[in-house]
Structure 1
Amino acid sequence: MNKTAEETQSPQLAVRPERSPGAKFLLVLLTGFLLAIPLFASWLLIYDRQSQSEQAERSIVTGWGGEQVFAGPKIVLPYRAKVQESVEQDGKTVTRTNIVTRELFLSPEVMTFNSDIQTEVKSRSIYEVVIYNSNVTGSASFKLPEDFNRSGIDPTDIDFARAEIRFGLSDARGLAADNKLSVAGQSLVLQPGKGLGETGNTGFFSWLDATALADGTIDVKFDVKFRGTESLTMVPDAGQTNWTVTSKWPHPSFTGGFLPENKVTKAGFTAKYNISNLALGTSLTSMLPGQQIYPSSDDRGYNAYEAGGASAGPSSVTVNFIQPVDLYDQVSRATKYGFLFIGFTFVAFLLFDLIGGVRISSVQYILVGVALVLFFILLLAFAEIIGFALAYIVASIATIGLITAYAASVLSSWRSASIIGGLLAALYGVIYILLSLEAYSLLIGSLLIFAALAGVMFVTRRLDWTRTLQKNPAT
């Protein structure tokens, strides 16, 4: 009796050869590595959103005042100096003596000032930035150093009557209109420009008759008000600098060459800096060459040289008004744990595949991996609206629910799917703890991976990774 074609092929369909457990493991491993591409793309998206946030913050504070750097005051004394140069004249080398105008920058012996900073959070759409108003009040005492005769400058060459007193402020747009400056009780008129090199030559100044410096001291008092954003930097340059900063902002960060004595509470902070020029390693006087040069026979006088910029100031100190949580940094850190999410979930599915007898295709692994990667996109999108903590909960619930429901269909068992869901819930909880406990993240992460590896090794200890499985499609 002749057999039909279906009867002839049925023995071949009854038993279907499958890949060995080792081959399946390598295939799943390759799939996990391929998912690194969308995982990296999500990280690029976070970086792009962070860049947009920074641009938005800059647009919010346009015209307000940026991150301010405050320097000074310094007294600038113009003086004459003789400079010899050799020139060719009628085929002969002639040495000519020129009179050049130079400037002597004199820092105060003692500078004491207080900064009262009023902060607020300015927002536009979903973006926020910390802005502030600062009121800097203080005094400074100037005197020529006792060893000034070693400087090589003859005091008779200094034009004390044409001196200037200069302040540096990195973003002069933030200056208020009611700033005050007085010398020996006499008010001076402030002028724009002629700042200091430490602030990029921006700031303000006033003309000053510094004749009293020839044999005495000059005491200066100032009251300066300006606006800024996110941070205030002070450049100490005095024999002794005493700076006290107070603010109601509860989240300061102190950086720079020197750290202050500080007290931080929920109601604000107070920081006190006490810095000497011995610690700075700088002198109270510095000089810059002038631009205007006059022949020695010319007695027209000379003009004060407008400084082209002093060298970068000594070690600065900065008070940062930081936001307690930077959501982009947190989302970026969470993304770095993406391989843990993918690896643990794939291992769970692979164990059901190898030991539970449930066949799972490569496409199903990829779909689950894409869902895991999508978690980070959801986390970023929600974090910009409702904050990181709530966004993490929402994105976790959505991802766990989706994968658990899909696993119930793939594994044909809600009980098995609930194991996958429980594993994911525990994993997301542990990762959140890792993000919160930054100091112990490496330790906890290492123990987590070690425990997972030990569990997989125990479950698969009797599995033959090389044999080819035969599975009946009817079972």
Structure 2
Amino acid sequence: MENPENQQQNFFQSATAKMFMVGMLTLVLLIPLEFVNNLIEERSIRQKEVIAETANKWGESVYFYGQVLKIPYKTFTETVSVNEKTKEVTKQITAAVEYAYFFPEKLKNNSKVTMVKPLNRGIYKSNVFKAKMNFEGSYTRPNFAINNIAEENILWDKASIVIKTTDMKSIKSQPDMVLGVNTYHFEPVQNDAADSVATLETRAVDVQALRDKGKLDFKFDIDYNGSHQVKIVPIGKTTEAKMTSNWHSPSFMGNWIPDEKNKQVSDNGFEAQWQVLHLNRPFSQQSFETLPDLRRYSFGVDFITPVDEYQQNQRASKYGFLVIGLTFLIFFLIQSVSKISIHIFQYCMIGLALVMFYTLLISITEHSSFTFAYLVAGSSVVTLISVYSVSILKNKKFPAFIGLALTVLYTFIYVIIQLEDYALLVGSVGLFFILASVMYFSRKIDWKN
């Protein structure tokens, strides 16, 4: 009868016990891997804080809503009072001034957005741009009759032009408007505390030609320093917009996007055109109450970074469990086939080397490109584990195979990280072939020993 101590010893030397211990070690190594993920997240948050601070100083998202014709008019309110003692009826008429807002008949915009050299603060970079926006269009004679306002009550000589736009410090040129044959300057207006955008308004403008001839043309130029986005509200009865930029990754946003035939995107930049008719929007060409908030009806471009360096590091770290598990599986299969004993401590050292890859990756990335950091970190870890394997496996054939397998695995993960639209597809197909390979090479192993 076999000694119970020998049975216990045989159990710990069995494939089942070794597989269990390797599996437990894989789970334990998720703890330092999670610390690495937290480090990447912390650095990513710090980068976002720096970008937000830089954008606040340079210029934030550009928003433009104008040019709106503002015309005051008189209203009269009649108040009737009755003296209870004498029954005398008294009528009092009170005059007040209200404002009507009219949008252009035609509005054309041509914007050129140039991404400038990223602003650096320490190791962090912030992408910013300069935007030159040119507008032209025309107004038609406002229809006050639609609201039963008599001609004599319209204060034509006190008309002005209003613009709603982004933060004042983003504006880098004097916004002047040529209306007819005259040029008018815009000045900032005190905003309501609840209004998050700035208001610019001219002094009284000459709209005699609009009153008499029924049409008045305008031109307007403005320059911005900005970041993130450029958005325009299509207030023209017919709005046409064109935007060109040297940025290669635009995200067209808002209620309207350009048709495929009206946009071209390449590695050198993009060009896009929009056309919005008044029939396409849920607001009218005039307002007799207040100037409506139309931010939700804007369109434009978000100058995104498709996958920044920290996002790439985060995506790489998500495959950490896969890399550790497959590497341990390769060593375990070699151990099972060759009958070479690998101690759990040696598995631990290999696992820590695999975790070290991600700390090397993020630290090198912050001072160079992700591709270069991935190459250096991957080569270092593959070399370290391959050399260490020579002392464990006592030959060069298996370490060479391990080095090749790790190289293929890291290359596969790099390709997935770089892909956007096909990442899930390529990853799923790759994992299927990895599983098929493991099943094939392990088919003849005697798991009873």
Shorter chain as denominator, the TM-score bin is 0.7 to 0.9
> SS of the counterpart of 1:77?
strand
Whether 2:433 is the aligned partner of 1:459: answer no
User: Is this contact kept in 2: 1:28–1:362, CA < 8 A?
Assistant: yes
- Give the corresponding residue for 1:118: 114
- Give the corresponding residue for 1:136: 133
User: Is this contact kept in 1: 2:312–2:370, CA < 8 A?
Assistant: yes
Alpha-carbon separation, structure 2, partners of 1:340 and 1:83: 77
CA root-mean-square deviation: 3.5
> SS of the counterpart of 1:121?
coil
- Give the corresponding residue for 2:201: 205
Unaligned 5+ runs, structure 2: 85-91
C-alpha change, 1:199 and 1:118, in structure 2 (3 Å) is: farther
1:36-60 superposed Cα distances (whole Å, 9 cap, x missing partner): 2322332222222122222223343
Alpha-carbon separation, structure 1, partners of 2:364 and 2:93: 73
- Give the corresponding residue for 2:168: 172
More RCO (CA 8 Å, sep 6+): 1
1:223 CA displacement: 1.9
1:352-367 pair list within 5 angstroms: 352-367=334-349
C-alpha change, 1:175 and 1:406, in structure 2 (3 Å) is: same
Structure 2 letter corresponding to 1:354: S
Structure 2 letter corresponding to 1:178: Q
Alpha-carbon separation, structure 1, partners of 2:141 and 2:194: 22
Whether 2:124 is the aligned partner of 1:127: answer yes
User: Is this contact kept in 2: 1:168–1:198, CA < 8 A?
Assistant: no
Q: State the TM-score, normalizing by the size of structure 1.
A: 0.80
- Give the corresponding residue for 1:18: 11
> SS of the counterpart of 1:319?
strand
Alpha-carbon separation, structure 1, partners of 2:376 and 2:156: 70
Structure 2 letter corresponding to 1:29: G
Structure 1 letter corresponding to 2:170: G
> SS of the counterpart of 2:415?
helix
C-alpha change, 1:405 and 1:240, in structure 2 (3 Å) is: same
1:75-474 pair list within 5 angstroms: 75-81=69-75, 102-124=98-120, 125-144=122-141, 148-151=144-147, 153-193=149-189, 200-209=196-205, 212=208, 213-214=210-211, 216-260=214-258, 261-265=262-266, 267-288=268-289, 310-323=292-305, 326-463=308-445, 465=447, 467=448, 469=449
1:295-351 superposed Cα distances (whole Å, 9 cap, x missing partner): xxxxxxxxxxxx7xx324353222234457621222222222222211210111111
> SS of the counterpart of 1:377?
helix
- Give the corresponding residue for 1:69: 63
1:155 CA displacement: 5.0
C-alpha change, 1:407 and 1:432, in structure 2 (3 Å) is: same
1:233-284 superposed Cα distances (whole Å, 9 cap, x missing partner): 2221220111222334444443322223123445543322211121123211
User: Is this contact kept in 2: 1:247–1:268, CA < 8 A?
Assistant: yes
C-alpha change, 1:361 and 1:288, in structure 2 (3 Å) is: farther
User: Is this contact kept in 1: 2:109–2:135, CA < 8 A?
Assistant: yes
Alpha-carbon separation, structure 1, partners of 2:439 and 2:169: 65
C-alpha change, 1:137 and 1:460, in structure 2 (3 Å) is: closer
Q: Which moved more, 1:426-435 or 1:361-370?
A: 361-370
Alpha-carbon separation, structure 2, partners of 1:190 and 1:74: 12
User: Is this contact kept in 2: 1:258–1:317, CA < 8 A?
Assistant: yes
User: Is this contact kept in 2: 1:69–1:199, CA < 8 A?
Assistant: no
1:351-379 superposed Cα distances (whole Å, 9 cap, x missing partner): 12333222333333333222212212211
Alpha-carbon separation, structure 2, partners of 1:371 and 1:272: 52
Structure 2 letter corresponding to 1:22: T
1:109-156 superposed Cα distances (whole Å, 9 cap, x missing partner): 11112223333113323333332222222223223565x533455554
Structure 1 letter corresponding to 2:139: F
Q: State the TM-score, normalizing by the size of structure 2.
A: 0.84
Counterpart selection for 1:50 from 26, 33, 44: 44
C-alpha change, 1:287 and 1:359, in structure 2 (3 Å) is: farther
Alpha-carbon separation, structure 2, partners of 1:79 and 1:25: 86
C-alpha change, 1:189 and 1:448, in structure 2 (3 Å) is: closer
User: Is this contact kept in 1: 2:167–2:197, CA < 8 A?
Assistant: no
Percent of counterpart pairs with the same letter? 29
C-alpha change, 1:122 and 1:193, in structure 2 (3 Å) is: farther
User: Is this contact kept in 2: 1:195–1:204, CA < 8 A?
Assistant: no
C-alpha change, 1:211 and 1:436, in structure 2 (3 Å) is: closer
Alpha-carbon separation, structure 2, partners of 1:141 and 1:332: 51
C-alpha change, 1:252 and 1:462, in structure 2 (3 Å) is: closer
1:193 CA displacement: 2.8
- Give the corresponding residue for 1:295: none
Alpha-carbon separation, structure 2, partners of 1:337 and 1:97: 78
Unaligned 5+ runs, structure 1: 1-10, 91-95, 290-306, 470-475
